[in-house]
Amino acid sequence: MSKPIFELVDELPTSNLTVSMLNSLDFIAPGQWQNTIGFVNTIKTVTGETDEALIQQIGERAIYLYNDRSQGYQTAMWLYQTVDSTDKALGTAALANKIGEKVPLLGFLNSVTPKSDKAQTIDLSLKLVAELVAFCQINGIPGDSIGDFVASLAEYSGESLIRMVALVCVDGLIPLGPDFISKAMSGLNQTNPQELEQNSTFQNIQDAIPGNGADGKLNFIGQSFDSVKGWMNGLVASNDLTPQKVAHNLKGFVEIADDKLDYLGAFLDVATNYYEHTGTQTLARRLIERAVAEI
């Protein structure tokens, strides 16, 4: 890893398109996510601690745990970063001056191309598998522990919950439509290992996905998605989610017509990094909680 964990947390932005997007999804998980940034501030927020010496001790222990290669924390961070970093066609610098004002998407339609349903399905599924494998790495359990991961979803809160909410909304509902779960299941069943191997995200993270060869890994991806579809269905049903409802809440920071939702999906894909942002926060929280327990 190129950067220490404290630096990654310190560098999290207070406001950008990713933060705006996550805030706009608060209607699904009210008050669950606060954009906690800064390593020391995160320690204080997680622990409620005010003793500077103890805060320093907790921070040092958390950094030590993150740096320990025998632990899975760096692998989890790499997964969160990698599933977000592929396919970034738009320079974030071009978007930086748009913060605080609505982004009219019409100007970006020339720059973004909606993915095919199959490509979007593979990306959605790979993000889900990255979440599963990162969960296993953080908790020190085998990477193919699908059952443990599915059981843990009921306990998801804060930044972990909003990440899964964003996955359902931004990588599922908006680009693939209201029947995104059945469409994705069908798409996975019709995907062959060669198609999977052509996907740039898969090329980057394939070594972390359980399974022998592309065939075995494709099978694991399908099993994972099938196991989580009940939770995703529940989230959609309990919040009466539709692509239009999600897009309406996003209109606080982006202007888009309802018949261009596939372009909205493509735009959010390249203009936001919600997996890396909330993944960094999740890792910091887990490290701090473990550091406190060990101290």
Look at residue 91 in the predicted model and tell me its pLDDT. Answer: 47
Query: Who contacts 69 (Cβ-Cβ below 8 Å, separation ≥6)?
Result: none
Residues in contact with 251: Cβ distance below 8 Å, sequence separation at least 6, in sequence order? none
Measured distance CA(290)–CA(30) in Å, rounded? 27
For residue 130, the tally of other CB atoms under 10 A from its CB is 25
Angle, vertex CA 243, rays to CA 87 and CA 117, nearest 5:
45
| CB 108, CB 260: distance < 8 Å | no
Total domains, the chain = 1
- Residues β-bridged to residue 104: 255
Structural domain for 284, as ranges: 5-294
State the pLDDT confidence band at 179, using cuts at 50, 70 and 90: very high
For the ranges 76-80, 181-185, 192-196, 262-266, which has the lowest average pLDDT?
262-266
State the chain's mean pLDDT as an integer.
90
Among 280, 30, 75, CA closest to 165: 30
CA end-to-end distance (rounded Å), the chain: 25
How many other CB atoms are found less than 10 A from the CB of residue 79? 28
Q: Which of 88-97, 136-145, 278-287 has the highest mean pLDDT?
A: 278-287
Q: How confident is the model at residue 278 (pLDDT cuts 50, 70, 90)?
A: very high
Q: Is the pLDDT of residue 98 over 60?
A: no
Rounded to two decimals, what is the model's pTM? 0.93
> Which residues are CB-neighbours of 3 under 8 A, at least 6 positions away?
11
Selection from 104, 141, 155, 101 nearest residue 282 by Cα = 155
- How far is residue 146 from each of residues 6, 49, 217, measured CA to CA in Å? 30, 35, 13
Phi-psi region of 256 (alpha: psi -120 to 50; beta: other; left: phi over 0): beta
**Amino acid 109: pLDDT:** 66
Lowest pLDDT segment from 80-84, 129-133, 140-144: 140-144
**CA 37 to CA 29: how far, in whole Å?**
20
Those residues with Cβ within 8 angstroms of residue 46's Cβ, 6 or more apart along the chain or in another chain:
284, 285, 288, 289, 292
Give me 183's structure tokens. Answer: 């469409």
Residue 235 and residue 28: Cα distance in Å, rounded?
8
